[in-house]
Amino acid sequence: MAVTLASLLLALLAACTPTTDERRVEVEQLTDPISFYPFQAGARWEYLPDRARLTDPTTVVQVLGPTVVGNEVWVAWHTRGRGLDQTSYRQVRDGGVFLLREERLGTTFTFDPPLQEFPPQSQLRVGASWSGSSTVRLSADGGKQQHALRFDYVYTVVDQRTVTLPAGEFDVFVIDFTTRTFDDGGDVTEELTQQTWFSPYVGEVRTRTGQVLVGSNVIGAPGTGTR
């Protein structure tokens, strides 16, 4: 298309005009209806520790979308903020939600077999429990450092309640997550229990590290039915 001289002059004038607008490029991808276990590209959550000021820097979790890992398609998630910069790879299957890998600042943690984070949708209820065994393989310094750690884990849904958070009011499943790690001789070296609050069609509204949801673009999105 031909561009007139007047149009070029207007563009040049606009480029030279001082501005204080600090906006940056943003890509909006969240167009598909949100599923029971949200994994749609562009889904985004913001968290703060309990009792933190709402003006404090948040931890942002965003679904980047499908990617190929080891000849399989996994969904990449990026977590950043409050000292954390991590990419995780998950699959949402008929059998639940599975975590394959986490990459943190040059260190990769791969779960073999993948860790089952959630059960099938129809089985998520108070009293439900699922468990497994896995080996987490750590690789750092370009693969020069390798380490493997065997562990067992169990998830238990201990309650269902309504909670009010900065992001709104949610019906949640309260899920305890317990891990036991073992040494080479098979003895337990550590046992740890953490708790997550999960709201269907929204995601985690309280993370295992104690951060609570302060905002998300999945709230009220098509297919969620959230308040």
pLDDT at residue 88, rounded to an integer: 98
User: Residue 161: which domain range?
Assistant: 27-216
In order along its 227 residues, the chain shows pLDDT tens digits of 444 433 333 333 344 444 455 666 555 667 778 999 999 999 999 999 999 999 999 999 999 999 999 899 999 999 999 889 999 999 999 999 999 999 998 899 999 999 999 999 999 999 999 999 999 999 998 888 899 999 999 999 999 999 999 999 999 999 999 999 988 888 888 999 999 999 999 999 999 999 999 999 999 876 554 44
Whether residue 223 is contained in a domain is answered as no
Is 161 part of any domain? Answer: yes
Which CATH number covers residue 48?
2.40.360
Domain count, the chain: 1
CA angle 203, 209, 214 (to 5 degrees): 50
Distances (CA, A) of 153 to 51, 130, 132: 29, 9, 6
Is residue 22 one of the residues assigned to a domain?
no
Q: How many CA atoms within 13 Å lie on the side-chain side of 42? A: 13
**Number of other CB atoms surrounding residue 36 within 10 Å:** 17
Give the pLDDT score at 23.
61
Q: Is residue 89 part of a domain?
A: yes
> Is 77 part of a structural domain of the chain?
yes
Residue 87 lies in a domain: yes
Kind and range of the H or E element at 197? strand 188-199
Asked if residue 76 belongs to a domain, the reply is yes
Q: Is 14 left (phi over 0), alpha (psi -120 to 50) or beta?
A: alpha
Task: Answer yes or no: is 56 within a domain.
Answer: yes
Give the separation between CA 175 and CA 78, rounded to whole angstroms.
Answer: 23
Q: Which residues of 120-146 are buried (b: 16+ CB within 10 A; e: fewer)?
A: eeeebeeebebeeebebeebeeeeeee
